[in-house]
Structure formats: structure tokens, C-alpha cells
């Protein structure tokens, strides 16, 4: 009887926890670069979006990184390490020494 009660408890706990794992944490940073350019980066565990001052938005997927986090679409690469970031396009650095202008805004999104 105790085994059945424990099993029911585990099932109830799993059902209660499942929605929590479906929530994604979205961090939004605004970066200002040494060249004068600025961009916004929305970073999640499984994707990132870069929005340029021109309004153009690029969606990126995570790639392996020894340090910090990298996201790419095969053409554009975003590298973020703490409050610093850079962007390269077609293997050419286009935005370097970009620094977050404030602490990131974090929002939980339900999926």
C-alpha cells in the first residue's frame, strides 16, 4: 500500500514540475560597441535574437563554446561573455568590444 501511495505522490510531483521546465528564461541585453554601433540581444538557452539599430533581426542557434556563449546561423556569429559581446558576419568582425549598458532584463516565457 505504501508503494502505491509513494507512486501516486511521484506522479503528482512530476505533473506539477513539468510546466516549470517548459518555461524559458529570456535575457535581454542592450550592447554599445566601441565603433558607435548598438544592438539588442535576446538570449535563451536554445536560441538568441539580435536586433540591430536598423530594425533588422537575426535569429541564431547555440554553438559550442569553451568560454561564454556563442550563437550562429552559419553566417552571423554572436559571442557573449558576461557583459561583453562581439558579432562577426562571414568570418569578419563587424562589432567588437560591445558592452552591456545595464543589467539584463530577465523574463520567463511559457512554452
For residues 72 and 83, is the Cβ–Cβ distance under 8 A?
no
Query: How many domains in the chain?
Result: 1
Residue 106 pLDDT grade (very low, low, confident, very high; cuts 50, 70, 90): low
Q: Which domain holds residue 92?
A: 24-106
Asked if residue 28 belongs to a domain, the reply is yes
C-alpha cell at 59: 535569429
Asked if residue 12 belongs to a domain, the reply is no
Digit-coded pLDDT (tens) for 40-77: 999 999 999 999 999 999 999 999 999 999 999 999 99
For residues 70 and 78, is the Cβ–Cβ distance under 8 A?
yes
**The domain spanning residue 94 has which CATH number?**
2.40.128.200
Asked if residue 55 belongs to a domain, the reply is yes
Q: Is the pTM of this model over 0.85?
A: no
For residues 78 and 66, is the Cβ–Cβ distance under 8 A?
no
- Give the pLDDT score at 56: 96
Asked if residue 18 belongs to a domain, the reply is no
Nearby residues of 38 by Cβ (< 8 Å), 6 or more positions away: 30, 31, 32, 53
Percent of the chain with pLDDT over 90: 68
Give 55's DSSP letter: S
Asked if residue 54 belongs to a domain, the reply is yes
Amino acid at each position: 500500500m505504501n508503494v502505491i501511495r509513494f507512486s501516486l505522490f511521484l506522479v503528482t510531483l512530476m505533473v506539477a514540475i513539468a510546466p516549470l521546465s517548459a518555461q524559458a528564461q529570456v535575457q535581454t541585453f542592450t550592447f554599445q560597441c566601441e565603433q558607435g554601433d548598438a544592438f539588442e540581444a535576446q538570449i535563451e538557452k536554445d536560441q538568441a535574437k539580435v536586433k540591430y539599430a536598423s530594425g533588422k533581426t537575426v535569429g541564431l542557434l547555440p554553438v559550442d563554446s569553451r568560454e561564454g556563449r556563442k550563437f550562429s546561423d552559419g553566417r552571423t556569429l554572436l559571442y557573449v561573455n558576461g557583459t561583453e559581446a562581439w558579432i562577426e558576419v562571414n568570418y569578419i568582425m563587424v562589432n567588437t568590444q560591445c558592452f552591456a549598458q545595464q543589467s539584463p532584463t530577465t523574463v520567463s516565457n511559457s512554452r
